[in-house]
Amino acid sequence: MTAKLINGKELSKELKQEMKKEVLDLKEKGLNPHLTVILVGDNPASKSYVSGKKKASQEVGISSEIIHLEESISEKELLEVIHKLNDDKRVHGILVQLPLPDHIVEQHVIEAIRPEKDVDGFHPVNIGRMMTNQDTFLPCTPYGIITMLKSKQISIAGKHAVIIGRSNIVGKPVGQLLLNEHSTVTYCHSRTENLKELTTQADILVVAIGKPRVITSDYVKKGAVVIDVGINRLEDGSLTGDVDFESVSDKASYITPVPRGVGPMTITMLLKNTIKAAKGLAHID
């Protein structure tokens, strides 16, 4: 068996075409969706992510700006910038690029963004709504994963989903979204005993641990759907996932590649959330 690919780059392209039309319709109604991204400091990875977000926004017609702040900015000053954006009617979505410098408490910053402008889906109000299966802004990577599964009509209800990783950004929320879709969910992490015993039961295996190629075919049940969230740069400069693609693709029914897998979907779902925020603030269905 050779696994079929779930190509996030292709799906992202299709979704962006749909969003482009939606944004045009909104502009005809006088609504111009706008995203503001705050970047603190000069972390090269963060700068790259932020420019990717701006480029993707332009592709679908969403206006966007990057506010680049000095690494030395105080938490108080950063919160003041956020409060101004909260009050700015022109701004529909606010995103603060993580990680932040050590002297700034990330949670204070996340909680400062008004929930209706929190297009990253990290505010406790939006997390609470997600937990209770209410309409809200979903965290972008988990939202992208669910969208990828549905794009291939992969059955989720009643299936056993195993998540390796328990971060607040991916592991925990993707498990909750799968639970909301009536999957049975098991969380695994660095202290899980008998990991292989659990992962080989998975109909859907989501891997988000940040270590290159650690999940090999002996961790995977024949016919499982494998979602690889990891992006690791090797010494030769190439990118690889947390899953050993070669061995696992002989056993899985579907697999996401790295690159061109989950990564492109994360930014795409951010754009979707920004359009949703614009419509919500303008009271347009």
Report which DSSP code applies to 118: B
When the pLDDT of each residue in the chain is averaged and rounded to a whole number, the result is 97
Instruction: Report the amino acid identity of residue 175.
Output: G
Please check the confidence at residue 1 and state whether its pLDDT lies above 80. Answer: no
97 catalytically annotated? yes
* Mean of pLDDT values over 16-34: 97
257 upstream amide cis, omega within 30 of 0: no
pLDDT of 285: 80
Percentage of the chain with pLDDT > 90?
96
Within 140-261, where are the H helices? 140-151, 171-180, 195-199, 245-248
Whether 29-114 shares its CATH topology with 140-263 is answered: yes
* Mean of pLDDT values over 7-27: 98
Please check the confidence at residue 177 and state whether its pLDDT lies above 70. Answer: yes
pLDDT of 159: 98
Q: How far is residue 171's CA from residue 225's CA, in Å, rounded to a whole number?
A: 16
pLDDT in tens, 110-167: 999 999 999 999 999 999 999 999 999 999 999 999 999 999 999 999 999 999 999 9
pTM of the model: 0.96
Largest Cα–Cα distance in the chain?
57
pLDDT of 126: 98
- For 256, residues 6+ apart whose C-beta sits below 8 A from its C-beta are 5, 6, 8, 148, 226, 227, 228, 241, 262
**Coil/strand/helix, residue 43:** coil
Entry field: residues in the chain:
285
Tell the CATH superfamily of the 140-263 domain.
NAD(P)-binding Rossmann-like Domain (3.40.50.720)
Report the top-level CATH class of 29-114.
alpha beta
Hey, how many other C-beta atoms are within 10 angstroms of the C-beta on 32? 14
Please check the confidence at residue 198 and state whether its pLDDT lies above 70. Answer: yes
Q: Supply φ then ψ for residue 204, to 5 degrees.
A: -125, 120
pLDDT of 284: 87
Per-residue pLDDT band at 273 (split at 50, 70, 90): very high
Please check the confidence at residue 183 and state whether its pLDDT lies above 80. Answer: yes
pLDDT in tens, 222-252: 999 999 999 999 999 899 999 999 999 999 9
Specify the long-range contacts of residues 100-107, CB closer than 8 Å, at least 24 apart. Answer: 100/40, 100/41, 101/40, 101/41, 101/71, 101/72, 103/74, 103/75, 104/40, 104/73, 104/75, 104/78, 105/75
- 165 among annotated binding-site residues: yes
**Which residue in the list 16, 53, 117, 172 is annotated as catalytic?**
53
For the chain, what are the domain ranges? Answer: 29-114, 140-263
pLDDT of 59: 97
**Which residue in the list 16, 97, 221, 276 is annotated as catalytic?**
97
What does the CA dihedral 228, 229, 233, 237 come to, rounded to 10 degrees?
Answer: 60
- For 25, residues 6+ apart whose C-beta sits below 8 A from its C-beta are none
- 231 among annotated binding-site residues: yes
- 114 among annotated binding-site residues: no
* Mean of pLDDT values over 42-64: 94
Structure tokens at 67: 């506010």
**Which residue in the list 16, 117, 120, 251 is annotated as catalytic?**
120
